[in-house]
Amino acid sequence: MNKRTTAADQPNAREISKSRHRRVLLNAAADAVYRFGVRGVTVARIQEISNLSRGMISLHFGSKENLLLAMLKELSEEYTRNWRRAVGPDDANPARRLRAIIAADFSPDVLNPRNIAIWFAFRAEINSHPEYRPFVDSRESDFRDALIKTCRELSNLEEEAVLAANALTAVLEGMWTDFLLNQAQFDREVALEACLLVARRLFPDIAESEWLGPIAPKAEDRTRETGG
């Protein structure tokens, strides 16, 4: 028997409107950073993009700075969900898991013109805004912890595992920079294979078959959807 839905079980129009306005403001803040950079974001520009009043920003976030921080936090959480979804909870094979972690960095869900511009815009501001660092620093993230843990399973030496994770992080950071600067020429599959070549050299004792797994989607599959 289906449980009867009562009015108390359903969100009221006020709650729906509040949630929608919050989402519109977060998207507007992201668009503003994408178009103008962090320092170029003004309340007036957020108002123009969102078609919401200054009072809405104050109501939902208190200030423009809090809105920007909330948007950055959400972007960081989306990144974490992306690689965790790619890895999955049941993959006990560390080589395949490492491949999945690396491949997730090339997913159009996170590697797209809008997100990359936002990431680098906030990274440029961390000296004057240290509160941004936890959300943009690859050395302070669950991603890095997972990378080190997986490298540890592939190496017999703790020091080598950390060095391998450092090397792979640097290569992935370089690929994201390459995407930022050369989006028209960037090839996700080629970039992924370059990273996997480094991984195979770091762990030469792992059989080639262990590295098999899905390839990240091609750039043209999603670029148009994300503003490229």
DSSP assignment string, 127-175: TT-GGGHHHH-TTSSHHHHHHHHHHHHH-S-HHHHHHHHHHHHHHHHHH
Q: Return phi, psi of residue 2, to 5°.
A: -75, 135
Give the pLDDT of residue 218: 45
Stated pTM of the model? 0.82
Q: What are 63-83's pLDDT values in tens digits?
A: 999 999 999 999 999 999 999
Query: How much is the average pLDDT of 167-185?
Result: 96
Residue 140 has pLDDT above 80, yes or no: no
Give the pLDDT of residue 156: 74
Q: Hey, what are 176's tokens?
A: 């994201």
Name all domains of the chain by residue range, CATH numbers in brackets.
9-62 (1.10.10), 72-226 (1.10.357.10)
73 Cβ contact list (under 8 Å, min separation 6): 135
Structural contact between residues 114 and 30, judged by C-beta atoms closer than 8 angstroms: yes
What does the buried/exposed string (b/e) look like for 153-173 if buried means 16 or more CB atoms within 10 Å of the residue's CB? ebbeeeeebbebbeebbebbe
Q: What are 191-221's pLDDT values in tens digits?
A: 999 999 999 999 988 877 677 655 444 444 4
Give the 3-state secondary structure of residue 196.
Answer: helix
46, containing H or E segment = helix 43-50
Give the pLDDT of residue 216: 46
Q: Hey, what are 79's tokens?
A: 């990144």
Give the pLDDT of residue 119: 96
Residue 122 has pLDDT above 80, yes or no: yes
